[in-house]
Amino acid sequence: MSERNVGLIETVARMLAAALLGALALPAAAQLPAPNAAGISTGHVHLTVPDVEKHTEIWRLLGAEEKSLGRLRLLSFPGIYVLLTEGEPTAPSIETTANHVGFSVNDYDAYKAKLAEIGAAIFFENAEEGQILADLPDGVRIEILTDPEQEAPIAFHHYHLSVPQAEELRGWYLDVFSAEAGERRNLPSALVPGGRVDFIPARGEPAKPSRGGAIDHIGFEVADMDAFAAHVESLGIEFDRGPMHVDAIGLTIAFFTDPAGTYIEVTQGLAAVE
């Protein structure tokens, strides 16, 4: 057996062990799900907003619970945390590869009323199917999907990326995040515990890279950053930053960019937040 194959086997073994330990150690009140066999789950989405307090209140009205991790403020939903950085976004999310973020709700009328209360502009609505696409103030688009059987009033459902080659990019996410292949509305998806990444072919001009936009980056949580970093590097992917441990927030973090231009943060430690 070649040294490369031995190294890959050792990396996978470490990730499996980390995933098991992470699942056993996960607090009952944690918002993130147990990871997949590679130690990976959904994590967070990070937004650029002109007024953090204003947008904190918007997300609270949508159902977020505010938590903290060191100096980091977290807006918590089942399956994801929303983080806010103050600044002027370089573009609304619909002009970038990170087109929108989707949530499932159990009461369509209640959430349509919430969107009106926070001043969201509805872009598309299908009441029969319980679907709404709406633009929040300052450029973040969200999608609402209705599941009356869902226990939680609102939960994370998907990231939606606008990309030139949807099938090819799904393959990249399957490889990098050990995701499962899926489809939604005849379009490709990559599934990880807690949600999914959906891909829609970009129309017209290529979408802008997400970094600096209203949705600056999407995030995933890993159980073992060292093992994940070895896996990423084995695929020939270079990190934009990290991995590094940040004492002030108690997280190990790393950043890289997907082939279409979506900025991605990977964290280790969010799963322990109660």
Q: Which residues contact 167 (CB under 8 A, 6 or more apart)?
A: 188, 199
pLDDT digits (tens, 9 = 90+) for 196-230: 999 998 877 779 999 999 999 999 999 999 999 99
pLDDT value of position 258: 98
Token pair belonging to 39: 């130690």
Task: Return d(Cα 139, Cα 141) in angstroms, integer.
Answer: 6
**Entry field: residues in the chain:** 274
Residue pair 92/213 in contact (Cβ under 8 Å)? The answer is yes
Work out the end-to-end distance of the chain between its first and last CA atoms, rounded to an integer number of angstroms: 44
Q: What is the mean pLDDT of residues 10-36?
A: 52
pLDDT value at position 1? 45
β-partners of residue 46 are 83, 217
| Segments making up each domain of the chain, as ranges | 3-272
Reported confidence tier of residue 38, pLDDT bands at 50, 70, 90: very high
For residue 39, the SS3 value is coil
pLDDT at residue 203 in the model: 79
- Kindly report the number of other CB atoms within 10 A of residue 103's CB atom: 23
- Select the CATH number that applies to the domain covering 3-272 from these four: 3.40.190.10, 3.10.180.10, 3.40.50.300, 2.60.120.620: 3.10.180.10
∠ Cα 58 80 183 (to 5°): 110
- Give the tokens for residue 8: 């890959």
Least confident window among 21-30, 60-69, 180-189, 239-248: 21-30
pLDDT in tens, 142-161: 999 999 999 999 999 999 99
- Average pLDDT for the chain: 90
Per the model's pLDDT, the better-predicted residue between 169 and 28 turns out to be 169
Looking at residue 19, its pLDDT comes to: 40
